[in-house]
Amino acid sequence: MPKKDHANRAIVFSAFFLLCLSAVSAWASVSQGLAERLDLFRDRNWVYNNVGKPDSVDWNTTFKAELEMYRISGSSYFDWYFVSYGLDGTIDVLGQIYKKGYMSGYEVCDELESRGGFPAGTTGLGKIFRIQHTRTGKSIRVAVQDNKKLGQTVVYMLTQDAWERVN
Protein backbone atom coordinates (compact mmCIF):
# COMPACT_ATOMS: atom_id res chain seq x y z
CA MET A 1 0.00 0.00 0.00
CA PRO A 2 1.51 3.43 -0.91
CA LYS A 3 2.65 5.55 2.03
CA LYS A 4 0.11 8.29 1.26
CA ASP A 5 -2.76 5.77 1.30
CA HIS A 6 -1.39 4.34 4.53
CA ALA A 7 -1.33 7.82 6.10
CA ASN A 8 -4.86 8.54 4.87
CA ARG A 9 -6.07 5.24 6.34
CA ALA A 10 -4.41 6.11 9.66
CA ILE A 11 -6.37 9.38 9.69
CA VAL A 12 -9.64 7.52 9.23
CA PHE A 13 -8.77 5.16 12.09
CA SER A 14 -7.83 7.93 14.51
CA ALA A 15 -10.17 8.62 17.43
CA PHE A 16 -12.93 11.29 20.87
CA PHE A 17 -16.10 12.41 22.45
CA LEU A 18 -16.16 16.18 22.86
CA LEU A 19 -18.66 17.30 25.48
CA CYS A 20 -18.27 20.93 24.63
CA LEU A 21 -15.90 23.05 22.63
CA SER A 22 -14.74 26.00 24.70
CA ALA A 23 -13.85 29.36 23.29
CA VAL A 24 -10.30 29.36 22.00
CA SER A 25 -8.20 32.28 23.12
CA ALA A 26 -5.18 31.60 20.90
CA TRP A 27 -5.58 30.46 17.32
CA ALA A 28 -2.12 29.04 16.65
CA SER A 29 -3.52 26.74 14.00
CA VAL A 30 -1.66 23.54 13.25
CA SER A 31 -1.11 22.71 9.60
CA GLN A 32 -2.78 19.61 8.19
CA GLY A 33 0.60 18.02 7.41
CA LEU A 34 1.80 18.29 11.01
CA ALA A 35 -1.52 17.18 12.44
CA GLU A 36 -1.48 14.02 10.33
CA ARG A 37 1.68 12.98 12.16
CA LEU A 38 -0.16 12.81 15.49
CA ASP A 39 -0.51 9.19 16.52
CA LEU A 40 -1.35 7.11 19.57
CA PHE A 41 1.56 6.14 21.79
CA ARG A 42 3.62 9.26 20.93
CA ASP A 43 4.72 11.20 24.00
CA ARG A 44 3.97 14.79 24.99
CA ASN A 45 7.51 15.94 24.14
CA TRP A 46 7.18 14.51 20.63
CA VAL A 47 3.86 16.34 20.16
CA TYR A 48 5.16 19.67 21.48
CA ASN A 49 8.40 19.43 19.45
CA ASN A 50 6.71 18.38 16.19
CA VAL A 51 3.21 19.85 16.35
CA GLY A 52 3.44 22.62 18.93
CA LYS A 53 1.44 23.74 21.94
CA PRO A 54 -2.34 23.25 21.91
CA ASP A 55 -4.81 26.04 21.16
CA SER A 56 -6.76 25.14 24.29
CA VAL A 57 -6.90 22.57 27.07
CA ASP A 58 -10.25 21.39 28.43
CA TRP A 59 -11.15 18.91 31.17
CA ASN A 60 -13.24 16.05 29.77
CA THR A 61 -15.42 14.09 32.18
CA THR A 62 -15.87 11.18 29.78
CA PHE A 63 -12.14 10.45 29.61
CA LYS A 64 -11.42 11.81 33.10
CA ALA A 65 -8.51 13.71 31.62
CA GLU A 66 -7.48 16.97 30.02
CA LEU A 67 -7.85 17.19 26.27
CA GLU A 68 -5.43 19.32 24.31
CA MET A 69 -7.22 20.85 21.33
CA TYR A 70 -5.46 21.76 18.05
CA ARG A 71 -7.25 23.83 15.41
CA ILE A 72 -6.29 22.60 11.93
CA SER A 73 -5.57 25.03 9.11
CA GLY A 74 -5.54 24.15 5.45
CA SER A 75 -7.36 20.84 5.83
CA SER A 76 -10.16 19.80 3.53
CA TYR A 77 -11.19 17.14 6.06
CA PHE A 78 -10.80 18.26 9.68
CA ASP A 79 -11.46 21.30 11.86
CA TRP A 80 -9.82 20.02 15.07
CA TYR A 81 -7.54 17.33 16.45
CA PHE A 82 -7.37 16.57 20.15
CA VAL A 83 -5.14 14.46 22.37
CA SER A 84 -5.00 13.26 25.95
CA TYR A 85 -2.10 11.61 27.70
CA GLY A 86 -1.92 8.58 29.98
CA LEU A 87 0.04 8.34 33.21
CA ASP A 88 3.13 7.29 31.25
CA GLY A 89 3.02 10.55 29.24
CA THR A 90 2.04 8.97 25.91
CA ILE A 91 -1.07 9.80 23.91
CA ASP A 92 -3.90 7.49 24.92
CA VAL A 93 -6.80 9.39 23.32
CA LEU A 94 -6.50 10.87 19.85
CA GLY A 95 -9.33 12.21 17.80
CA GLN A 96 -10.53 14.43 15.02
CA ILE A 97 -13.55 16.52 14.33
CA TYR A 98 -14.43 16.37 10.64
CA LYS A 99 -15.49 19.48 8.75
CA LYS A 100 -19.24 19.81 8.41
CA GLY A 101 -20.55 17.75 5.54
CA TYR A 102 -17.22 16.06 4.71
CA MET A 103 -17.95 12.55 5.98
CA SER A 104 -20.86 11.17 7.98
CA GLY A 105 -20.46 8.75 10.87
CA TYR A 106 -22.13 6.12 8.71
CA GLU A 107 -19.50 6.58 6.00
CA VAL A 108 -16.65 6.41 8.53
CA CYS A 109 -18.11 3.20 10.01
CA ASP A 110 -18.34 1.66 6.53
CA GLU A 111 -14.71 2.59 5.90
CA LEU A 112 -13.61 1.05 9.21
CA GLU A 113 -15.46 -2.19 8.48
CA SER A 114 -14.05 -2.38 4.95
CA ARG A 115 -10.54 -2.05 6.43
CA GLY A 116 -11.03 -4.93 8.87
CA GLY A 117 -12.38 -3.05 11.89
CA PHE A 118 -14.41 -5.38 14.10
CA PRO A 119 -17.69 -3.87 15.37
CA ALA A 120 -17.55 -4.04 19.16
CA GLY A 121 -20.88 -2.45 20.15
CA THR A 122 -22.07 1.03 21.00
CA THR A 123 -21.66 3.33 23.99
CA GLY A 124 -22.21 6.98 24.77
CA LEU A 125 -19.20 7.54 22.52
CA GLY A 126 -21.04 6.12 19.52
CA LYS A 127 -20.37 2.99 17.48
CA ILE A 128 -17.22 1.20 18.69
CA PHE A 129 -14.74 -0.82 16.62
CA ARG A 130 -11.75 -2.90 17.65
CA ILE A 131 -8.81 -2.52 15.31
CA GLN A 132 -5.10 -3.16 15.28
CA HIS A 133 -2.99 -0.01 15.54
CA THR A 134 -0.95 0.12 12.33
CA ARG A 135 2.34 1.37 13.81
CA THR A 136 2.48 -0.70 17.04
CA GLY A 137 0.22 -3.68 16.31
CA LYS A 138 -1.59 -3.13 19.61
CA SER A 139 -5.36 -3.60 19.88
CA ILE A 140 -7.20 -0.29 20.22
CA ARG A 141 -10.78 0.99 20.17
CA VAL A 142 -12.14 3.44 17.64
CA ALA A 143 -15.37 5.29 18.35
CA VAL A 144 -17.39 7.07 15.66
CA GLN A 145 -20.04 9.61 16.59
CA ASP A 146 -22.25 11.99 14.65
CA ASN A 147 -22.20 14.76 17.24
CA LYS A 148 -25.56 16.50 16.87
CA LYS A 149 -24.51 19.42 19.09
CA LEU A 150 -21.57 20.20 16.80
CA GLY A 151 -23.28 18.99 13.62
CA GLN A 152 -20.05 17.17 12.79
CA THR A 153 -18.62 13.66 12.83
CA VAL A 154 -16.14 12.97 15.63
CA VAL A 155 -13.73 10.03 15.52
CA TYR A 156 -11.73 8.92 18.56
CA MET A 157 -8.96 6.39 18.92
CA LEU A 158 -8.36 5.00 22.42
CA THR A 159 -5.68 2.81 23.95
CA GLN A 160 -6.75 0.00 26.26
CA ASP A 161 -5.99 2.19 29.32
CA ALA A 162 -8.19 5.01 28.02
CA TRP A 163 -10.93 2.54 27.13
CA GLU A 164 -10.92 1.20 30.70
CA ARG A 165 -11.28 4.75 32.10
CA VAL A 166 -14.36 5.28 29.94
CA ASN A 167 -16.04 1.99 30.95
* Predicted confidence (pLDDT) per residue in 76-114, tens digit: 888 999 999 999 999 999 999 999 988 899 999 999 999
Element (H, E) at 7: helix 3-13
In this prediction, residue 43 carries a pLDDT of 93
pLDDT along the chain (167 residues), means of 10: 45 29 30 62 91 92 91 86 93 93 91 90 89 88 91 93 87
* Euclidean distance between CA atoms 34 and 47, whole angstroms: 10
Q: What is the pTM of this model?
A: 0.75
CB 44 within 8 A of CB 85: yes
Element (H, E) at 107: helix 105-114
In this prediction, residue 36 carries a pLDDT of 58
Give the burial class of 58: count Cβ atoms within 10 A of its Cβ; 0-12 exposed, 13-18 middle, 19 or more buried: middle
* Euclidean distance between CA atoms 47 and 90, whole angstroms: 10
In this prediction, residue 135 carries a pLDDT of 84
